[in-house]
Amino acid sequence: MDATSLATVWTLVALVIFLGIVVYVKAPSMVMKSLDDRADRIRNELDEARKLREESQQLLAEYQRKRKEAEQEASDIVAAAKREADLLLEDAKEKTQEYVTRRTAMAEQKIAQAERDAVNEVRSRAVDIAVAAAGDLLASKLDAKSRADLFKSSLGEVRSRLN
């Protein structure tokens, strides 16, 4: 046998001894057990990741539903505020119109009262002037005693008729 084949035989013998030791120490079962443990860990991590993903999708769906509800509620609030503002505006216009009508009526009443007062004042002065003129006229034509009696009776009659 030559040196290369002898080296090959010794390499083969060493490989067989090595494989025998590996089998004796149960290395393949340890490697398989390690691989199985790792596969279990990976499977558990994948299951946990799937559960977390499902929970996050549920949370996302819930938050989207809540957002839509909040948007709907906000639009309802805005619509209610617009309706209330329109009602308040209409009420304010109505009250303003009533106020203007009342103030106009009050002003017209004051004007009418002022006109009546002015007419009464003019009448009163006209009566006073007429009485004074009649008194002067009678004074020039009558004596003092008859003048006083006539003046008093005429004055009383004019005042009773004017009032």
Give the tens place of pLDDT for each residue, 121-143: 888 888 788 777 776 776 676 66
What is d(CA 40, CA 35) in angstroms, rounded to the nearest whole number? 9
What is d(CA 76, CA 59) in angstroms, rounded to the nearest whole number? 25
Question: Which residue from 38, 32, 59 is spatially nearest to 46, judged by alpha carbons?
Answer: 38
- Encode pLDDT of 7-66 as tens digits: 888 898 898 988 888 777 777 777 788 888 999 999 999 999 999 999 999 999 999 999
Mean pLDDT of the chain: 86
User: What length is written for the chain?
Assistant: 163
What is d(CA 124, CA 163) in angstroms, rounded to the nearest whole number? 10
How deeply is 139 buried, as exposed, middle or buried, from its count of CB atoms within 10 A (0-12, 13-18, 19+)? middle
- How far is C-alpha 16 from the chain's CA centre? 90
Determine how many CB atoms are found less than 10 A away from the CB of residue 71. 10
Q: What is the pTM of this model?
A: 0.41
CA angle 79, 81, 83 (to 5 degrees): 70
